Amino acid sequence: MVLDLRVCFIGESFVAGVGDQKCLGWAGRLAARAIAAGQPLTYYNLGIRRENSTELRSRWEAECTPRLPVGCDARVVISTGANDTQVENGGPRVDPDDSVDNMAAILRGVREKGWQAMVVAPPPNADDEHNVRLVALDARYADLCEEAKVPYLRAYQPLRENQIWMRDIAAGDGYHPGAAGYDEFAALLAPHWLLWLSDPGSELPVVR
């Protein structure tokens, strides 16, 4: 009997794959890699462009619940933070303490549902000042996930040093890459993603 594995990807524009000519983003590429590796799954992309973590907190459960019925192997991949750390009206769109509280609430809700969670960190962009705020939130998310025993895949530093990613976002809007950049993002995450699918309780190394 084939296991009914279902995965909801929730978060912002990078989850949705904004800018990708192939309309896959990193989430679609990870789903394709799982299929290619012989791991069938049902994949739901629930990314929303410009959404922050407060907005995600208000909708994730209502959207995931009908897609992850009782009896399936239910997984949720969460990625948020880039929009929280954008400056509007003289301050970040979401206070960092609230960003952490929102993530904690989502992780708590996923656990209470009996589902498995994994968190993907927000990637770097072309705005150095924004990146400073992003790195600070990234560190707090990492600490939170370590405490909650949830895999947290850090993406900032590897992609900041990745010439293809940085060149691709510079050629676009400074935030979103094209297909080549998403290829790099997915390749970074893929080994940990495939291990998590096969053994969600495994000790995944943190991507640095």
Domain annotation covers residue 36: yes
Domain ranges, residue 32: 5-193
Q: Note the pLDDT of residue 191.
A: 96
User: Which parts of the chain sit beneath pLDDT 70?
Assistant: 1-2, 202-208
How many distinct structural domains can be found in the chain? 1
Task: Say how far apart CA 85 and CA 192 lie, in whole Å.
Answer: 26
Q: Is residue 200 in a domain?
A: no
* pLDDT at site 3: 80
The two three-digit tokens of residue 45, written as one number: 């992309």
Say if 84 falls within a structural domain: yes
The pTM for the full model equals 0.96
CA distance 183 to 140: 27
What is the per-residue pLDDT across 191-206, written as a single tens digit (0 to 9) for each? 999 999 998 876 664 5
Domain containing 148 — which CATH number? 3.40.50.1110
Residue 206 lies in a domain: no
How far apart are alpha carbons 119 and 40 in whole angstroms?
21
| Residue 81 in domain | yes
**Cα dist from 88 to 78, 83, 96, whole Å:** 24, 10, 14
Among residues of the chain, what percentage have pLDDT more than 70?
96
Length of the chain: 208
